[in-house]
A and B are shown apart, each in its own frame.
Chain A
Amino acid sequence: MMNYMDVKIVIIGGGPAGMAAAISAYESGVKDVLILEREEALGGILRQCIHNGFGLHTFGEELTGPEYAYRYEKRVKELRIPYMLNTTVVELTSDREVVAMNSERGIFHIRAGAVVLAMGCRERPKGALGIAGNRPAGIYTAGTAQKFVNMKGYMPGKEVVILGSGDIGLIMARRMTLEGAHVKAVCEIMPYSGGLARNIEQCLNDYSIPLRLSHTVVEIHGKDRVTGVTVAAVDESRRVIPGTEEYIECDTLLLSCGLIPENELTAGAGIEMDRVTGGAVVDAGRETSVEGIFACGNVLHVHDLVDFVSDEAREAGASASRYVNGGSDSDREIKIKVDGKIRYTVPHIIRKAEDTTVYFRVSGVFENKRIVVRYGDEEILSKKRIKMAPGEMESVKIGADALKNIDGGVLEFSVE
C-alpha cells in the first residue's frame, strides 16, 4: 500500500532558503505549502553559526545565525505553514513526485504542484583533497568542528592548523581560539583568501593568527591522532615548491576548502546542471530546466551572505506560487554567457519584461575593472568596480528598459 499525499508546493529543506521560499510562496497566495527538513529543527546550518554578522542587509542589524533563522521560523509558525522534521527526501522525479521518509509516516509519496529545492551545500572533505599521509583522528571539516563545539559542547582539538580560508574556517579559527585552543596557522593554496575580507580582519588579524597564502598541507602525520602536518609553499600553478616544506606540530587539522551544492536529488530528476556552480541552470524566477521545479540558496550556488540567500528564496517561492496558479513565464530565452573572468552567473536565463539582479563570482582578484554586459556589439551595461575577489559574491541590476529592444539571443558578461 503506497502512502500518497498531494501538496501544492513542497519545499525540500528548512534552512534559511527553504523557510524564506515557503513564506514567500504563502504570501504570494498559495496556502498549501509543506517544508520537509531532515534535521530535528528548522534553521539549517545557521543553527550552529552562533557568531554574529547575519542580517545587515535584510534587517539592518547584526544577528547571530540562530537569531536570523528564528525570525523566519517565527513567521513560518505565525502563518501556520506545515513542516515535517527528521524527514529525509529520498527521491524526486521529473514529474514532481517527492518520496520521503520519517519515523511517523514511514516512506511516503507526495504529488507536488511545484517543488522548491533548498537543500544547501556540504563541505569538500579530506579524501577529495588527496593529501598524502595517514588517516588518524583529528581531521575535520570546519563545519563538523563547529557542530562539535557549538551544538555538542566538545572540543575536537587543542593545537590546530586550518587548511583553506573559506568563511567557516575563518570563523572556526576565532571560535577555537575563544575556547582556549591554539590556532597555529591558516594555510591557503591560492594567493588570495576564499573568505570575506571582514572575516580575515575579525577572525584572524584580531587574534594574531597567521594567514599563509600560497601554502598547502602536503602530508598528515600521526597514527591514532594527528601529531603534526607538513606544510609547503606553492607556485603560481599550485605546485609545491621543493625545499619549502615545514613541519607544524598539531593535534587537529581543520579543512575549509570549498562548499559543494548538495544536488543528488536534483540530478536524479534529470535537471540540467551548471558545472561551474554545481547547481541547477535557472531562469530569473529560479525555475530549473524541469518545469515546476525551482531552486534557491546554497543548493543553487554557494552564497557569501545569508541575506542574499533569503532574497533569492523569496524570488523562487513567488515564482513557484505563480506557477501553481497557472501564471506562465513568457520569453525565457535570453541566455547569459560569461568570459571566464566571471565564472558564472545566477540566473543563467533572464526575462526581458522585468528588472533583474544577476549574481556572479569572479575567478581571480581584479582591481579597477569594469563589468560589461553586451548584446552582440551593443553595450547594455558597464559598471566600475574598485576591487573584486572570488570570496565575495557580486551582482548587477539589469533594468527591463535596457532589454526592451532585445528579442532572445545571448547577453555576454565580461570583466574589462
Chain B
Amino acid sequence: MFDVAIIGAGVVGGMVARELTRYGLDVVLLEKESDVAMGATRANSGIVHAGFDAKEGTLKARMNLRGSEMMEEVCRELGVKYRRNGSIVVGFDGEDEKTLRQLLARGEKNGVKGLRLLTGDEARAIEVNLGEGVSCALHAPTGAIVCPYELCMAAVGNAMDNGAELKLEFNVCKIDYTDGVYTVKSSDGEQVEARYVINSAGIFSDDIARMIGDTSFSIRARRGEYILLDRACEGLVDHTVFRCPTAMGKGVLVSPTVDGNILIGPTAEDIDDKNDRKTTTRGMANVRKLAAEQVRGIDFSKTITSFTGLRSTGSTGDFIIASPRDNFINLGGIESPGLTSAPAIAEYVREMLADMGADLSLRDDFDPNRRPLHYFKELSEDEKNEMIAKNPEYAHVICRCERVSEGEILEAIRTNPRPISVDGVKRRTRATMGRCQGGFCTPYIVELLAAEMNIPYEKVTKSGGKSYINLSKTKEGI
C-alpha cells in the first residue's frame, strides 16, 4: 500500500513525485510507456517562460511566475542544464505592436521583471540575426531554457534515489475506490493500492478522470512539429525568438537549446488521434517559412532531425488542478507554460494534500541533489584523467558525434530511472543524437544494453514495446 499513486511520469508527475517524497510520503509512479518523459515532456520547446503570456489571475499565470522563480535552483540541485538566455517576442506590423503592448501590460501585472518594448533596430542590436521585417519586439530577460526530458528524468531519478518507486509499461485501465483506498489496475492485470491518486496523465488525463466518473473536462491533442539543427549552427541566435502569439499558442520560435543545437518550431494543429506523432511535409515547410521571417540565415541543410510533440490542451483554457473526488487530484490541461510551472504545481499539490489531511513532514534524510549524467564532460582534464585511471571505459568513445564514452553509457544504464532501450540511452547521454544520428554507434549501444540487461542482442528495442532493432540472427531466413 502506497501513500500516493501518481499516474503519468512526465515532468509534472516527476516533480510531484520528488516533492512528495521530500515530505515523507511513500510514492509510486505509474507510466504506460517504456520510459519516463514520453508524452508532451519529450517533445516541447524547453522554455522556462518569463510569465507574460498567461492571463492575470489564472492558475497558468500564478504557476508560471512561481515556477520560473524556482527553476534555476531546482536545476542546480538536480544537475540539469539551465541557461537564462532571455526571450524576445518579435512583431512585424502595427497590429503586432498592439499585441506586444498588451503582453507587456499583462506581464507587468503578473509580476514579470525587466520587460521592455524595443524597436526593430533595438532588437537587432541585441540579437543580430533577427529578420529585416521585424519592426517591434518585447524583451523578457528572465526567460530561460532547459532540457525538458532531462529535467523529468532527473526529478524521477532523484525521487527514486529517495525511495519512490517507478512502474513502467503500467497502462492504467481501471481505478476502484473502497474504504478510503484506491486500487489502480493496469491492462496487464497488475494493481497498486494507494490512499491518494494524482492524475498527471497529460493528454490522457481526461481518460483517467473518467475512470472515477469525472467528466468535468476534456483534453485535445495539439500537434507541434519541430526541426532540430546541428550544433554547427550554434550562435545563430542567443535569445529565444518568439513570434507574436495567436489563439493557437505562442507560435513558431527559434531558440538555442542547452546542448548547443538550434530548435525551430512548433506548428499548432488540433488533432483527434492522441497517438499520432507523425511529422508532415506541410508542417515542416510551414515551420521553415515562418522561422525564416523571424531569423535570417537559418541553414536548413544542417537539419539533423524533425519530430512531433503533442500538447495537452484542456477544455477550460486554464490548467485544471482540482480534486473532483476524495483524495484524488487532477492535473489536466498542463500545456505551455507547463514545463516552467512543474515545480510550482508540485508545491501546490503538496499543499492540497496537506489540506486533505495527508501526513506530511519534511524528511531530514532527503537528498535533493543528483549527480548529472553529463558531469564527466564538465570535469577538468586532470579530473577526467583521474576518473579514466579508475574507470578506463570513460576514455572509450562510443558516440563520436556527441563524444559519449562507454563509461557514460554504462553509468546511464545503471542510474535511476534506468533506460531499457536505445532511445532511452539517447535521451540520457545524447549518444546517437548527433549528426550521424546513431549510424555508427547504434550497434555498440545495442551490445551494451544486451549485456547490462542480460537479454539477447535481437531483443534490444529502439524505444520499448515491440520496436526491435534486429529481427533475427543472420542465416535464419535462408
Of the stretches B78-86, B186-194, B458-466, the one at the interface is B458-466
The complex places the Cα of A157 from the Cα of B466 at a distance, in Å, of 14
B436-A123 in contact (CB<8A): yes
A122-B471 in contact (CB<8A): no
- Which among A102, A123, A158 is the interface contact of B396 at CB below 8 angstroms? A102
- Which among B306, B392, B443, B465 is the interface contact of A127 at CB below 8 angstroms? B306
B439-A144 in contact (CB<8A): yes
- The winner among A1, A133, A143 for most chain B CB atoms within 10 A is A133
A170 to chain B, nearest CB (A): 18
B388-A179 in contact (CB<8A): no
Q: Which residues of A contact B393 (CB under 8 A)?
A: 103
- Which among B437, B443, B465 is the interface contact of A125 at CB below 8 angstroms? B437
Q: Which of B227-251 contact A (CB under 8 A)?
A: 227-228, 232
Q: Which of A148-190 contact B (CB under 8 A)?
A: 148-149, 151-158, 179-181
B279-A133 in contact (CB<8A): yes
Q: Which residues of B contact A152 (CB under 8 A)?
A: 443, 447, 457
A130 contacts chain B at the CB level, 8 A cutoff: yes
**In which size bucket is the chain A interface?**
35 or more
Of the stretches B3-11, B50-58, B151-159, B378-386, the one at the interface is B378-386
- Which among B395, B447, B463, B476 is the interface contact of A101 at CB below 8 angstroms? B395
A141 to chain B, nearest CB (A): 5
Q: How many residues of B contact A (CB 8 A)?
A: 58
The complex places the Cα of A140 from the Cα of B471 at a distance, in Å, of 13
B280 contacts chain A at the CB level, 8 A cutoff: yes
B97 to chain A, nearest CB (A): 34
A103-B457 in contact (CB<8A): no
Instruction: Bits for B415-447, please: 1 = Cβ < 8 Å to A, else 0.
Output: 000000000000000000001111110110001
A155-B471 in contact (CB<8A): yes
A132-B467 in contact (CB<8A): no
The complex places the Cα of A218 from the Cα of B281 at a distance, in Å, of 8
The complex places the Cα of A190 from the Cα of B392 at a distance, in Å, of 47
A107-B381 in contact (CB<8A): yes
B284-A103 in contact (CB<8A): no
Q: Which residues of A contact B466 (CB under 8 A)?
A: 224-225
A35 to chain B, nearest CB (A): 17
A52 contacts chain B at the CB level, 8 A cutoff: no
Q: Which residues of A contact B301 (CB under 8 A)?
A: 128
A314 contacts chain B at the CB level, 8 A cutoff: no
Q: Which residues of A contact B277 (CB under 8 A)?
A: 134-135
Residues on B lying within 8 angstroms of A by beta carbon are 227-228, 232, 275, 277-281, 284, 301, 303-307, 381-382, 384-385, 388-389, 392-393, 395-397, 400-401, 403, 435-440, 442-443, 447, 457-458, 461-463, 465-478
Question: What are 20 A-B residue pairs whose CB atoms fall within 8 Å in the complex?
Answer: A38-B397, A88-B403, A103-B392, A103-B396, A105-B395, A122-B440, A125-B437, A127-B303, A130-B281, A130-B306, A132-B281, A133-B279, A135-B307, A137-B461, A137-B467, A156-B470, A179-B475, A219-B278, A224-B465, A225-B466
Given contacts A103-B393, A134-B277, A154-B473, 17 further A-B contacts (CB under 8 A): A1-B382, A86-B396, A103-B388, A107-B395, A125-B435, A125-B438, A126-B305, A136-B467, A137-B461, A143-B439, A148-B470, A155-B472, A155-B474, A155-B477, A158-B477, A180-B477, A224-B463
